[in-house]
Chains A and B, each alone.
Chain A
Amino acid sequence: MLTEFGRVFLFILIGIVFVAIGLVVAWLLRPHRPYPSKRTTYECGETPVGDTRMRFNVRFYVIALIFIVFDVEVVFLFPWALVYLSLGWFAFFEMIAFLTILFAGYAYVWRKGDLEWDRPAPRIPRYERGVGVREARLTEDEIAV
């Protein structure tokens, strides 16, 4: 007899097996003739430059942090949503208080501009006598953005 989570487990199992069969069959059937330029990362015909793992903008981290806080808030909302009808106004105002406190945090990050995205400053090419048009160089800070 399967429980509800047994069904979920079955779905996960079938998902894994489905992907595994696809990959294994493809591995068995395909010809295997590698050469160096075939093994490079596909970059629309360009030679790949640098490392795949680049630095991300620190904004992603702040957004992810704020996301987690509201993720946890949603977790609290679920059990409340199941019972608040039977518990009446007290439960309602309890949740209002909970949400108000979190909303203060939301207002704080909004007001402080943490949700704004740092845009890289525009680089205007300038003309130099004897050199011609010169691209403005990227600073280390801008590369990360």
Chain B
Amino acid sequence: METFDIIFYLFALITVGSACIVVFSKNIVYAAFSLLFTFFGVAGLYVLLQADFLAVTQVLVYVGGILTLLLFGVMLTNKVISVDMKTGTLHAVPAMILAAVVFGSLAGLFYATWSGVTAPASSIISTARPIGEMLMTGYALPFEVASVILLVAMIGAAFMARRPKKL
């Protein structure tokens, strides 16, 4: 799978490269826009993993929604835009320990499941139908709980962003 590898590394490069810009950019608007490419690259990786529904969801929700919200958040705060972001290091030792723990657990997970990886099939079978069947049968309760979580998010966000009533 020569083409597959090339496309994989292309998306990996887009994801990691733009994520680096997000982290190291001093201008928060540039950081927010390069997050667009990070989300997009992750969507591409999902496609390569044959998770087509997840990929479309990633584009629809993260690229289409979350990023718009993030840009609004950046543009709403006029102090942040004009000031350069500090990208220095704070709490280096705890951060290193935390990063090492996360990396270690991810690497452990990777090597534990490594043998199960098979070559990708030549055609994509849509995962939307199995996801729908599982949501409606085995995972009915998490599905309903998800709507409650969305409700809480909506009411909480609307409550916090509301202007205090002028008397």
Chain A residues packing against B (C-beta within 8 Å): 1, 3-5, 9, 51, 53-56, 58, 60-62, 64-69, 71-76, 78-84, 87, 90-91, 94, 97-99, 101-102, 104-106, 108-109, 112, 114, 118
Contact = CB atoms under 8 A, between A and B. Distances in A.
Contact of A71 (B44, B61, B124, B135): B61
User: B interface, how many residues as a size bin?
Assistant: 35 or more
7 contacts: A9-B47, A66-B157, A82-B128, A98-B146, A101-B147, A105-B151, A109-B158
B161 interface: yes
A72 B150 contact: yes
Which applies to chain B's interface (DSSP): helix, strand, loop or mixed?
helix
Contacts of B61: 68, 71-72, 75
Contacts of B72: 56, 60-61, 64
B64 A61 contact: no
Nearest to A3: B124
A49 B78 CA distance: 16
Contact of A83 (B7, B66, B124, B136): B136
B157 A62 contact: yes
A5 to B, nearest CB: 5
A78 B154 CA distance: 21
A127 to B, nearest CB: 27
A73 B60 CA distance: 11
B145 to A, nearest CB: 10
B144 A97 contact: yes
A55 B128 contact: no
B136 A105 contact: no
